[in-house]
Amino acid sequence: MTAKIPAWRAVWLALRSWRTAAVSLLSFSSGLPLGLVWIAIPTWLAREGVDIKIIGLFTLAQAPWSFKFLWSPLMDRYALPIPKLGRKLGWTLAMQVALLALTFVLGDVARHPDAIWIVGSLTLAIAFASASQDIAIDAYAVEVLRPNEQGVAVGARIAIYRAAMFVAGGLAITLAGMWSWPFVFTLIALLYAPMLFVTLFAPRSEADRLHAPPSLRAAVWEPFVGFLAKARALELLGFVVLYKLADNLAGALVRPFLVQVGFDDFDVGVATATIGLVATLVGTFLGGVLTTAMGLGHALWVFGGLQIASNLGYVLIAMVGVDRPLMYAAMGFESITTGMGTGAFSVLLLRMTMKQFSATQYALFSSLFALPRILAGPVTGVMVDAMGWRDFFLFTIAIGIPGLLMLHRFSPLGVRDPELEALADIRPRILTRGDLVRRGALGGLVALVIGAFSVAALDAFKRMRALPDAGFDLIAPLTHLLVPTTVSDWLSAVGVLLFGFTIALATAATAAARSKKVEGKSKF
């Protein structure tokens, strides 16, 4: 039996590891195109006098990062003809070369930016190559990092990733004001050159010895089956959605909250852009290091509790009003605990992912992890309107508890490291197609009821705050959902239907993954 490495010696060994360094440095290559597409290019177009409606359309170039899981199976199934690098590093190198070339071309086009369709095509191509590079680098991290290296690597990756975004975003804008945009774009392109050498000399993944999925269909289907057939799969998925939910809800409208309380633009800017950013980066790196030292199980519990408790600071601000020291302290504490929770959670995502399907599974898990953050904005606006700021932040504290309950299901309090790989397969059962349809319909019906009552309850709270004498009335908002008359009613009804349909599909897919066959035939 291998002797257990002391906690802080494991941290020291991880800091000295070339695997940790390679994975961390490659994240610089991931952050550059994000800063370019999200920040630099829209700013450049605005300076060139491009119509704001056209600039708004450029936000569609962000879509590849949201939908990258759609083509991630290709990177599990196929290898480029670069045998010495393996599948994931080979794809990484190819995407880096593409990004270097595309950004060079952008620098040339910037000298005569009248052909806006060419700029749009280049921007979309850069985004697609960047999202593909992210798939390969994330999968490489899953395959090459050892458990005691994952925490340190996660913290370093996020810090270097944010630094690259700043270089290609905020710093690029400053340099363009001193020189020119064509020169700045060319300079950004040159920054990919050192990353090519990192990729060429990065440690090879032992997972390349594993057989690739035998077909593209297997590369798409097996990652789902391999995970959903596990006994604790649903608890893990529930935890992935719920663990950061309180944090995402509280953070979605922090800036409008501070403005409405009465803080001026200077205070809001310092709190969010300076204190918040620095504290988040420090917290993420600290969370990764402490996860290695404490163990993943302990870290998820401690950081989960801290990030829930940190919302009390916003409750105090809502009660006290304008108090600059309180606001700075609350923002700093919330940001650092958010970063620590993200550090530990990112380690969990690495360990949940099967190495044979590292590209597909990690892309799916990271997309699922991002879902609460994407949906938080619209939901929080309705909730704040219905409940008020103080009660809303108290609610976010309560909503964090289910995530900890899900954590207890696979990592009970006191367990240093959850046994994710030891999760037993559920005994397969034979289900007919009719069984799958009935299970999906039942799941969808339950989701419809929950969604309808949740939307109606928020509307009822909102009406009760506006008209206290009217009381809490669920009947009227439920009637508006069933018989929509206004645009708002229709949007709410469609949202509830989409939620029910999604849960119905998820229920049927889970049942299919855990069944042996369907009507005597293979279920897929």
Is 277 within 8 Å of 293 (Cβ atoms)? no
Helix axes 18-35, 192-201, angle to 10 degrees: 150
Q: What is the number of other CB atoms lying within 10 angstroms of the CB of residue 488?
A: 11
Dihedral (CA of 495, 509, 245, 160) sign: negative
208: DSSP letter: G
Is 205 within 8 Å of 86 (Cβ atoms)? yes
3-state secondary structure of 217: helix
pLDDT in tens, the chain (524 residues): 344 555 555 565 666 788 888 999 999 999 999 999 988 998 898 888 878 778 877 877 877 887 888 888 899 888 888 878 888 999 999 999 999 999 999 998 888 766 788 888 999 999 999 999 999 999 999 999 888 888 888 888 888 888 898 899 888 988 988 898 999 999 999 999 999 999 999 998 887 777 778 788 778 777 777 777 776 777 787 888 788 888 888 887 888 888 889 988 888 888 887 888 888 888 988 888 888 888 889 999 999 999 999 999 999 999 999 899 999 999 999 999 988 998 888 888 888 888 888 888 888 888 777 766 666 655 677 778 778 889 999 999 998 898 898 888 888 888 888 877 654 455 666 777 788 888 889 988 998 998 888 878 877 777 776 666 767 777 888 888 888 887 777 877 887 887 788 778 777 777 777 675 544 444 44
Is 296 within 8 Å of 417 (Cβ atoms)? yes
Domain boundaries, the chain: 1-205, 215-426, 433-514
The predicted structure's pLDDT at residue 57 = 77
Q: Which helix (H) or strand (E) holds 307?
A: helix 296-309
Dihedral (CA of 145, 148, 154, 157) sign: negative
Token reading at 76: 């599990």
Q: What is the number of other CB atoms lying within 10 angstroms of the CB of residue 240?
A: 21
71: DSSP letter: T
**Cβ contacts of residue 149 below 8 Å, gap of 6+?**
13, 14, 17, 19, 20, 292
Q: Which helix (H) or strand (E) holds 294?
A: helix 276-294
Q: What is the number of other CB atoms lying within 10 angstroms of the CB of residue 197?
A: 10
Burial class (CB in 10 A: 0-12, 13-18, 19+), 135: buried
Is there a shared CATH topology between the 1-205 domain and the 215-426 domain? yes
Is 230 within 8 Å of 514 (Cβ atoms)? no
Q: Locate tokens 């349809």: which residue?
A: 437
Is 407 within 8 Å of 348 (Cβ atoms)? no
Alpha helices in 400-517 (DSSP H): 401-410, 433-466, 475-482, 487-513
One-letter identity of residue 348: L
Q: How far apart are CA 472 and CA 51, in angstroms?
A: 47
One-letter identity of residue 315: V
Q: How far apart are CA 49 and CA 55, in angstroms?
A: 10
In the structure, how many helices (H) and strands (E) does the chain have?
A: 27, 0
Is 336 within 8 Å of 282 (Cβ atoms)? yes
CA 86 to chain centre: 26
Burial call 32-55: b when 16+ CB within 10 Å, e when fewer: bbbbbbbbbbbbbbeeeebeeeeb
Tell me the CATH architecture of domain 215-426.
Up-down Bundle (1.20)
The predicted structure's pLDDT at residue 64 = 86
Is 311 within 8 Å of 337 (Cβ atoms)? no
The predicted structure's pLDDT at residue 373 = 66
Is 192 within 8 Å of 59 (Cβ atoms)? no
**Which residue, 257, 266, 410, 263, is CA-closest to 334?**
257
| Opening angle at CA 154, ends 425 and 234, nearest 5 | 25
Token reading at 455: 């939307």
**Which residue, 445, 446, 472, 447, is CA-closest to 459?**
472
3-state secondary structure of 215: coil
Is 410 within 8 Å of 491 (Cβ atoms)? no
Is 14 within 8 Å of 20 (Cβ atoms)? yes
Q: What pLDDT, in 10s, does the model give residues 254-297? A: 888 888 899 888 888 888 878 888 888 889 888 888 888 888 89
pTM: 0.78
> Fold for domain 1-205?
Growth Hormone; Chain: A; (1.20.1250)
Q: How far apart are CA 104 and CA 55, in angstroms?
A: 21
Is 201 within 8 Å of 84 (Cβ atoms)? no
The Cα-based distances of 134 to 4, 65, 187, 206, 364 in angstroms read: 33, 9, 21, 20, 13
The predicted structure's pLDDT at residue 518 = 42
**Cβ contacts of residue 456 below 8 Å, gap of 6+?**
474, 477, 478, 481
The Cα-based distances of 235 to 198, 227, 312, 351, 420 in angstroms read: 38, 12, 27, 15, 12
Three-state DSSP string of 219-265 = HHHHHHHHHHCECCHHHHHHHHHHCCHHHHHHHHCHHHHHHHHCCCH
